[in-house]
Amino acid sequence: MKQMKFDLNNNSYNNPLSSFHKHNHVFVKFAVCFLLTGLAVRLLFSSSIQFSSEVVTDTTLVVDNTLPPPATSSTVSGDFAFDESQTSRNVTAKCDIFMGDWIPDPSPPVYTNESCHLLEAHQNCMKNGRPDTGYLYWKWKPRDCELPKFNPRRFLDLMRNKSWAFIGDSILRNHLQSLVCTLSQVEQAVEIYHDKEYKSKTWHFPSHNFTLAVIWCPFLAKAAVFEDNDGVSSSEIQLHLDKLDTIWTEQYKKFDYVLLAGGKWFLKTAIYYENNTVVGCHSCSRNNFTELGFDHAYRKVLNLTFNFVTSLNHKAYIFFRTSTPDHFENGEWNTGGYCNRTRPFKEGEIDMRDVDAVMRGIELEEFEKAVAIGSKKGMNLKLLDTSHLSLLRPDGHPGVYRQFQPFAKDKNAKVQNDCLHWCLPGPIDSWNDLLMQMLVDD
């Protein structure tokens, strides 16, 4: 380029050839300048892209490092802002919220035995003297997404001018008390009804005009039960497989939301009736009765229950909760079984017992039949599948601390364990996270 510049500067401006070279020189300079400018822009743009790409990659890695690998590949943008409602709406579309693991969570429970005065004595593990508190510091983590914490204020807003019934056994009542305690941190619930034995109750949240009821009906079907509060029976249960209990069916139409659950009571000794006639029994000692098994009765009653709710024009929003395994070890509740573990199981460390697996299979089959019928009528039926996550929590039961200070008088006292129900607060609080997620995802 220096040589070109030297030659052009020594030519005469009056020479036509020189004039040609002069114009040619201008053209060359312009071309070179254009080339250099283009090269500079290219280099700058390339550098900018490389830098921008590195920043995005770093942001993505930071996000991915806080989450498990996604089930399918997707683009993650670190610059996209989203609110809680958007997270809630999309969470179950990305993953199965019922499959995952329990992970440590340092945040304290939403309520305690001091901040909620509605706890029943046998669930109040703190007051009853349970010495460890580690069972309080875990949260349920689905495999492929984050599960937002239950938001009591938002839940009450969603339930304004609505009514909800929990219909089933004592585990269901255990769950409802967890929900009432959590909601009461925002607005105090007012108890407006209880039955003679305080097993069925109704609460009202005045500022939201929200009614929340628990209807104790452990079989969902008509039954005569002869046992005390400690589960000791004086005679076999008499269970009618062809009649639902009117204690809930006559109230059903007044509720906007219904949660149905049962299961464990079907494992008890019982005599089965149809058309008011004995047709068999389960685990009974009478030689003249046919052993039909709990599975026969459970399927019959679930089928009857789902046929009832899907046959009506009343379109309540229906949840069905699967049965939850117990954690008795070295015996059953009445033969010295206990549960003294202080940490959750990891996935794969425990298998579901045969009876629980059979019960769960029946539940899934009958529920799928109900969904097939209900969906044609525009009904909402949702499966609240708590079996797996509950199986992994042997540490969350009252155990011997279903009683107040069980070893205060005698350190070697023989005390009945409760390895079926849950301490409050405790793992059962996570069921509310699942329940709300299912509500906002619909």
* Residues forming the active site: 170, 418, 421
Amino acid 228 reads D
Q: Is the dihedral of CA 427, 431, 434, 440 positive or negative?
A: negative
Q: Which of 224, 129, 218 is nearest to 415 (CA)?
A: 129
Phi, psi at 236, each rounded to 5°: -70, 150
- Cβ atoms 95, 142 nearer than 8 A: yes
* CA 82 distance to own-chain centroid: 22
| 3-class secondary-structure state, position 293 | coil
Q: Can you say whether residue 12 is alpha, beta or left, with left for phi > 0 and alpha for psi between -120 and 50 degrees?
A: beta
| 3-class secondary-structure state, position 273 | strand
Q: Kind of pairing, strands 201-205 and 210-216?
A: antiparallel
* CA 230 distance to own-chain centroid: 29
Burial 286-323 (b: 16+ CB within 10 A, else e): eeebeebbbebbbbbbbbbbbeebbeeeeebbbbbbbb
In order, the DSSP letters of 310-354 are: HHSS---EEEEEPP-----BSS-TTTT-B----SPPPTTS----H
